[in-house]
Amino acid sequence: MSQFWHEERLLIDGKLVPATGGRSYPNENPATEEILGVAADAAREDVLRAIAAARRAFDTSDWSTNLELRKRCLRQLQTALEEKREEFRAMKVAEVGCPILLTYGPQLDTPLNLFIPHMLKFLDSYRFGEDLGVAEVMGMKSHRWIEREAIGVVAAITAWNFPTELNLKKLSGALAAGNTIVLKGAPSTPWSTLVLGQLIAEKTEIPPGVVNILTSAQKDIGEILTTHPDVDMVTFTGSTATGKRILACAADSVKRVTLELGGKSPFLVLDDADLAKTLPMAGVMICSHAGQGCAILSRLLVPRKRQAEAVEIVKATMQNLKYGDPLDRQNLMGPVNSAAQRERIEGIIARARADGAVLALGGGRPKHLPKGYFLEPTLFYDVDPDSQLAQFEVFGPVLAVIPYDDEEDAIRIANHSPYGLSGGVWSADHERARRVARRIRSGTMMVNGGIYYGPEVPFGGYRQSGLGRENGVAGFEEYLEIKSFCEPA
């Protein structure tokens, strides 16, 4: 039994239950390769029971129409989370392998402090209806108005890299809008999801069936959620390949689908930028959480004539970054998520060298860390914009430096990607940076280092980085349908 606060059971129809047949699977610490404990391994029967419970709760309870109940329950969940903050922190470091330093930011404290509180404040001012007034159409005066109502049953599938943020983001949005939900957490970080079920069952008045929480090591579980006719919407965060499969599966029943997928985002340094001030950020960002972030800027675009200078600055930054034991508060970088993830990244590194990219730093496993799925901070330069390294999401601590000839060439390279999730532009001329940023086809853009992160800012991507948005008014309204009314005036 683990020493950490955790939960092994599923939440289905208001009860904490084991998986069918008592099935479970091991939960591994990626920094030590030790088994922390187990998590429930949901089977098809569990998924079907969860969907049925969510359907019944939506169709037969007043959850979707009782705004005050929803707000009260969200406040209760927020209080319960805050009471368990430090236990949550210790568990996340062990399970996710994230440096404890990051739990004081986006891995725990920032989403815990912001997402549900923001949603509660948002609900105080949001208007679910809008009066369109009276108009005469075909000789008849009619009063028209619209009302926004919950979609129904939402299937939410989240990733392992920032599980608390992703879970709270989807839970708070779906529940605040009046939906019921089946939340499936990532297999490799199950406790970060299952503990939410424990708090909901024991510390809130959320009615049975409104929230159902699953984990499973079986790959077909997600497909049940995306094809079942009683599921009205699927919201997914993860790889582009899986997102495409979900979109195809959901097509038969024409479900609402939102996808937050991969990225290969450009860090574009214009020729008038101060490299010494600007470039250290690129080295820090790619190593943060071992590069395991969809919006991390992993392509560094620099003027060709200044590439050598840029490489030396970034190399010095990456060489001096501390990494290793996630419990060491000086470390910015821990392990990658799994042995399979590390092997995949190593394959990309080998391919980059074969493609002619020049290795400036790293590329291997650190000798001083024989246990755990660690990789060295890795820097390549002279990277071909058409190569796998420039086009493919690595999801590891690997930065690709790509030289460009002029501003138009830089913009072309920045947009030369199947993705369009994030990006950034740096220039001594702020208006120039804005102008170039507007030409990058991406869902979020940093201008001279600005930070867009927050529950009030819509987040999502262009092209193969996804569909729809999370956060902000746009993200909230993804969980709503619009109904138009009219009556004689």
* Residue type (1 letter), 21: G
**Start-end of H helices in 252-288:** 275-278, 280-287
165, 260, 470, 478: which is the annotated catalytic residue? 260
Contacts of 234 (CB under 8 A, 6+ apart): 154, 155, 156, 157, 225, 226, 246, 250, 255, 256, 257, 258
Say if strands 480-488 and 140-150 run parallel, antiparallel, or are unpaired. Answer: antiparallel
- The reply to whether 260 belongs to the active site is yes
Cβ proximity of 187 and 216 under 8 Å: yes
Residue 395: φ, ψ to 5°:
60, 45
Q: What angle do CA 57, 61, 63 make, to 5 degrees?
A: 90
Cα-Cα-Cα-Cα dihedral of 187, 191, 195, 198, to 10°?
Answer: 80
End-to-end CA distance of the chain: 68
- φ/ψ of 49, rounded to 5, equals -65, -40
Is residue 356 within 8 A of residue 385, CB to CB? The reply is no
Q: Say if residue 20 is exposed, middle or buried (CB neighbours under 10 Å; 0-12, 13-18, 19+).
A: middle
Report the alpha-carbon distance of residue 462 to residue 333 in Å, rounded: 29
Q: Which residues pair with 459 in a beta bridge?
A: 470
What one-character-per-residue DSSP string does 322-388 give?
Answer: -BS-TTSTT-SB---S-HHHHHHHHHHHHHHHHTTPEEEE--S--TT--SSS----EEEES--TTSH
DSSP H or E stretch at residue 486? strand 480-488
Catalytic residue (one of 98, 294, 393, 470): 294
* Strand partners of residue 180: 153
Residue type, 266: P
Nearest of 42, 34, 36 to residue 11 by alpha carbon:
42
Query: Which string of b and e fits 228-254 if b means at least 16 CB within 10 Å?
Result: bebbbbbbbbbebebbeebbebbeeee
Residues tagged active-site: 260, 294
